[in-house]
Amino acid sequence: MRGLPDPTPPNLSLPDVVGSAGTEPIVQLHGVGKRFASGLEALDGIELSVARGEFLSLLGPSGCGKSTLLRIIAGLSEPTRGTCRVSLGEPGKPIPSGRIGFVFQDPTLMPWSNVAANAELPFRIAGRVGAEERDRVAAALRAVGLAGFEGAYPHQLSGGMRMRVSIARALVTDPELLLLDEPFAALDEITRLALNDDLLRLWETRRPTVLFVTHSVFESVYLSTRIAVMSPRPGHIVADLPVALPHPREGARTSPGYAAMCETVSGALGMAMTDART
C-alpha cells in the first residue's frame, strides 16, 4: 500500500446497497497469486473482498493481471497461491450454473447462431428452453435495446450491437455476480459512452454485484461504487477507493465531484506505475 491510505471499507451513497453489510461478502480473495506454467508471475498477494450489490472496478495498466484475476473469480482458472471464495448457492457445493455472468472484451458470439440463439445459450446448456426462458431472453434483449433484432446474425450487427448481445447473454440467467473483462475497450468513444449509461441503468435496476475490469480512469469513476487500483505485473492491489458520487449518474461526467475523483484515481494509478518502475 506504499504511500497510499489503507483500503477503506466502501462508503456508498446508496444505503440500500450497503444494506448487506452484515452478510458475508460475495467474493473473498486471500493472498491470491498466479504463476503461469511459462514462469510468468501474473498476480501476487491479492487481498480483496467484494460486498453484495457493489459495482467494483479493477483498474490497472495493460498486462497487470486484471483479466487473470477475473478468470480466477469466475472459476475458469485456478490460483497458484492463496484462496478465492465466491459465496453463491449453498455453502460447500459447486456454484449453480447461471449465477455468474461473464462478458469478454470481444463479443464472443457464435457466428452461426442468430441474436436470440446466442442470448439463449446459457439456457440451452442447462437443457431448459421453454416459454419462460424465451420470455427472459426477450426481456434481456429489450433491456440492452436489441428488441426486434432477434433474427439477425452477428455479422449483420455493428460492434456495439454485438457487445449488447454479449451483455444480454450474461443477463438472461439474472446472475448475482456479473464479471466484465474490458467489455468496451474495442469500441468507439460514442458507443462506449452509450453502453456505459446502459450498464449503469441495468445495475441500478437489477442490482447485481459487478466486477468491471478496465484501464480507463474516467470509465471506472463514472460506473463504480468502488475502485481497486492494480500495479503492473505481478499485479497486486495498491489502492482501494470508494466512489461517493450520487446515483443516478447521468450527467455526472460534468460535475466537480466527478472531476475531483478522476484526479484522485489518476494519482493512485500514477503512483502504482512509478512504484513499479523504482
Partner 1 sequence: MIGQRAWRLLAPLLIGVVFLAIWEAVVRWRGIPPYILPAPSAVAQSLWVDGPSLLGSLLVTLRITLAALAAAALIGGAIALLFSLSRVLELSLFPYAVILQVTPIVAIAPLIIIWVREPFLALLVCAWIVAFFPIVSNTTVGLNSADRNLLALFRLYGASPGQILLYLRLPTALPYFLAGLRISSGLALIGAVVAEFVAGTGGAETGLAFRILEAGYRLAIPRLFAALFLLSLTGIVIYLLLDWLSRRVLQHWHESAATAAEE
Smallest distance, Å, CB 172 to partner 1? Answer: 11
- Least gap, CB of 118 to partner 1 (angstroms): 10
Shortest distance in whole angstroms from residue 122 CB to partner 1? 5
Of 100 and 210, CB closest to partner 1:
100
234 φ, ψ (degrees, to nearest 5): -70, 130
For partner 1, what does the binding mask look like between residues 81 and 120, x meaning CB under 8 A?
Answer: ----------------xx-x-x-x-x-x-xxx-x------
Among 122, 183, 208, 242, contact with partner 1 (rule: CB under 8 A): 122
Strands 177-181 and 209-214: parallel
- Residue whose C-alpha cell reads 437489477 in the numeric block: 206
Comparing CB distances to partner 1, the nearer of 110 and 259 is: 110
Per-residue interface string for the shown chain with partner 1, residues 66-85, x marking contact by CB under 8 A: -----x--xxx---------
Residue 230's SS3 state is strand
Q: Any idea what DSSP says for residue 46?
A: E
Q: Does 133 bind partner 1 (CB under 8 A)?
A: no
Q: What are phi and psi of 154, to 5 degrees?
A: -50, -40
| Strands (E) located in the chain | 27-35, 41-50, 55-59, 81-86, 100-103, 177-181, 209-214, 226-230, 237-242
- Residues 26 and 246: their CA atoms lie apart, in Å, by 23
CB of 77 to partner 1, least distance (A): 9
Q: Between 64 and 103, whose beta carbon lies closer to partner 1?
A: 103
Report in angstroms how near the CB of residue 58 gets to partner 1 at its nearest. 18
Q: Which amino acid is at 108?
A: T
Backbone angles phi, psi at 145, to 5 degrees: 75, 30
Would the CA dihedral through 12, 18, 21, 23 be positive or negative?
negative
Site residues for partner 1, 153-192, by CB under 8 A, read: 153-155
* Residue 150 in the binding site for partner 1 (CB under 8 A): no
Q: Enumerate binding residues for partner 1 (CB under 8 A).
A: 71, 74-76, 97-98, 100, 102, 104, 106, 108, 110-112, 114, 121-122, 124-126, 153-155
